Structure 1
Amino acid sequence: MMTAAKPVRQSPLKVDPTTDKLISQGAHFLGLAKKDLVAEAVRVYLEQRREDLRSGMVEALRVLDGSLKSDVMLLTGLTAEEIDAAGGIEE
């Protein structure tokens, strides 16, 4: 028996008042809903930063090798050497 997929709920985006004013004005003059302007702006921004995203993902994958130490490194920003100097981690 298949179950229906739960609909994805929208979550509010909290921005400072100055940014909200810019979004409101931009959406008004472009004839868009605020949420549509923000969605398009995010898509364009991420497309422009694609290489930065790729580099970040590659680095995260390099660090995550499935070990507890790699998890701690990613979560804390410590290097493997720093973790070892602090007593290490038993796997």
Structure 2
Amino acid sequence: MTDDARRQVAVKISPEADKLITSGAHYLHMSKKDLVEAAVQFYLDARREEMQAGMRELLSQLDGTRASRVALLAGMTREELDSVGGVEEDD
């Protein structure tokens, strides 16, 4: 999908943040949309290692079993899943 074909989504922000974005965009001679996109990219780049550690932690919970996949998707621990009946494993 091309960038032009993506649908735009509104993001709710506080009035204070909107004032900062408006002011920053004005003085940087860019659109509010471009400023927000650049700011998000900068923020995520700065926290890339933290994000990767979080992803590794989530992936470490997967052990190849159906139960681990269901627990991860449901946002539960394996113990919580087992306490409510668990799941049947693939044969």
Distance in 1 (alpha carbons) for counterparts of 2:32 and 2:80: 46
Corresponding residue number in structure 2 for 1:57: 55
Corresponding residue number in structure 1 for 2:40: 42
Number of equivalent positions: 87
Q: Matched residue of 1:59: which SS?
A: helix
Structure 1: runs of 5+ lacking an equivalent: none
Using the TM superposition, give the Cα deviation of residue 52 of structure 1 relative to its aligned residue in structure 2, in angstroms: 1.1
Q: Which runs of 4+ in 1 moved over 6 A?
A: none
Distance in 1 (alpha carbons) for counterparts of 2:84 and 2:30: 54
- 1:86 maps onto 2:84 in alignment: yes
Using the TM superposition, give the Cα deviation of residue 65 of structure 1 relative to its aligned residue in structure 2, in angstroms: 4.5
Structure 2: runs of 5+ lacking an equivalent: none
Write out per-residue CA displacement over residues 16-57 of structure 1, whole angstroms, 9 at most, x where no aligned residue. Answer: 222111111111122111011101101110011011110121
Corresponding residue number in structure 2 for 1:31: 29
RMSD: 2.1
TM-score (norm 2): 0.75
Could you tell me the percent identity over the aligned residues?
A: 51
Distance in 2 (alpha carbons) for counterparts of 1:31 and 1:65: 50
State the structure with bigger RCO (CA 8 A, min sep 6), 1 or 2: 2
